[in-house]
Amino acid sequence: MRDPPLPPYLDRGDGHNRCCQRRFWCIADVCGVLCVLITWLLIGYAEYVVMMILLSWPHSVMRGIHLVLYNTLTVLAFSSHARTMLTDPGAVPRGNATKEHMQWITSQEGGVVYKCPKCWSIKPERAHHCSVCQRCIRKMDHHCPWVNNCVGENNQKFFVLFTFYIASISVHALILAVNQFVSCFHTEWKECSIHTPPATVILLLFLIFEGALFGIFTLVMLCSQVQAIWTDETGIEALKGEEVRWRRQQRWKSMRAVFGRTWHHWFSPFTRPVLSGGGGGGLRHVYPVPTGATHHGDSVRLLDSGSIDSNDSTDSESVAAEMERRTLSTGDMPV
């Protein structure tokens, strides 16, 4: 099934953070690439032990069921990981905070428009700047080195599925490994695997450790992500205790916005929900960088967001309060 077209704010314009002829989103971060390789290595290790030791029983229906189930979950986990890593999380076009642009937007929408001084973009509501991706990301939840990418509006579904499928194969491998351990105690260890008994014990113990560690880690992550979607508040917003100025979506509406309208799409890492480009930010997200434009930051209605990520507001009182609060707390000044 083909993905729906990307919304216009997900630009492929300047090739920043892109590879393979700009087809895929890639972050050039050494730590992230290492974490991704470790993730693949751990998935591969679990696959090897499960296939060579845990499911090396004589052919039976039960073995067939476990084999199909485990491998299906592994393929889905790997696919979810790849899609989280290679999907634009919702990057705002760089360098579109130009004088002309700002004037045009304020004339169209009114209110205050924020720019990011780091990537020089017009900062939509609920966007935050990521120092690793060097971009402002819409509805950024956090930057995850295990997927070498930000988790944002456009790839949160894949990340949630990644945690779900990793938790599933961890629990599955744990059950199989404990079962194997118990059965090997009651028989000869030599008959338990093609490896020597010490090697079998070491392989099984490491798999149990890996399954328990990553099972707990991904289950905690899964719960926090589902809660964030359910309450329509990202991890970074909750962490900073940001004032809720956006209109919270209804809970099921929020779930459907992330996972898709129909149930059979919810667990598939091969489909992406159609994004509206909305989220309360209005028109200002969609403008590309004007060609030949120069950077100015002198709009009366423009605010630098500084190192503290921020959102805009259309309410003059709350804007004034926000300006005062930010001036006091961070030293940032309105331009």
Q: Which residues are catalytic?
A: 144
* Closest distance of CB 15 from Zn ion, Å: 17
Interface with Zn ion (CB under 5 A), residue from 36, 54, 97, 119: 119
Residue 232 to residue 230: CA distance in whole angstroms: 6
* Closest distance of CB 133 from Zn ion, Å: 3
Output the six-digit token pair for 239: 């962490």
Residue 122 binds Zn ion (CB under 5 A): no
Q: Which residues pair with 121 in a beta bridge?
A: 116
Interface with Zn ion (CB under 5 A), residue from 46, 53, 91, 133: 133
Residue 77 to residue 153: CA distance in whole angstroms: 20
User: Looking only at residues 142 through 181 of this chain, which bind Zn ion when binding is defined by CB under 5 A?
Assistant: 143, 150
Interface with Zn ion (CB under 5 A), residue from 73, 116, 258, 289: 116
Interface with Zn ion (CB under 5 A), residue from 130, 222, 228, 258: 130
Interface with Zn ion (CB under 5 A), residue from 136, 166, 169, 275: 136
User: Looking only at residues 220 through 249 of this chain, which bind Zn ion when binding is defined by CB under 5 A?
Assistant: none
* Closest distance of CB 121 from Zn ion, Å: 5
Residue 242 to residue 222: CA distance in whole angstroms: 22
Output the six-digit token pair for 221: 């992550």
Residue 16 binds Zn ion (CB under 5 A): no
Residue 113 binds Zn ion (CB under 5 A): no
* Closest distance of CB 144 from Zn ion, Å: 8
Is residue 88 within 8 Å of residue 11, measured between CB atoms?
no
Residue 195 binds Zn ion (CB under 5 A): no
Residue 209 to residue 152: CA distance in whole angstroms: 31
Alpha helix segments (H runs only) across 88-246:
99-109, 156-185, 197-230, 235-240
DSSP letter at 57? S
Residue 129 binds Zn ion (CB under 5 A): yes
Residue 124 to residue 317: CA distance in whole angstroms: 19
Interface with Zn ion (CB under 5 A), residue from 22, 118, 245, 296: 118
| Cβ burial, residue 88 (10 Å; 0-12/13-18/19+) | buried
Nearer to Zn ion, 118 or 245 (CB): 118
The size of the interface with Zn ion (CB under 5 A), counted in residues, is 10
Residue 279 to residue 297: CA distance in whole angstroms: 25
* Closest distance of CB 135 from Zn ion, Å: 6
Q: Between β-strands 302-304 and 149-151, what pairing exists: parallel, antiparallel or unpaired?
A: unpaired
State the residues that interact with Zn ion by CB under 5 A.
116, 118-119, 129-130, 132-133, 136, 143, 150
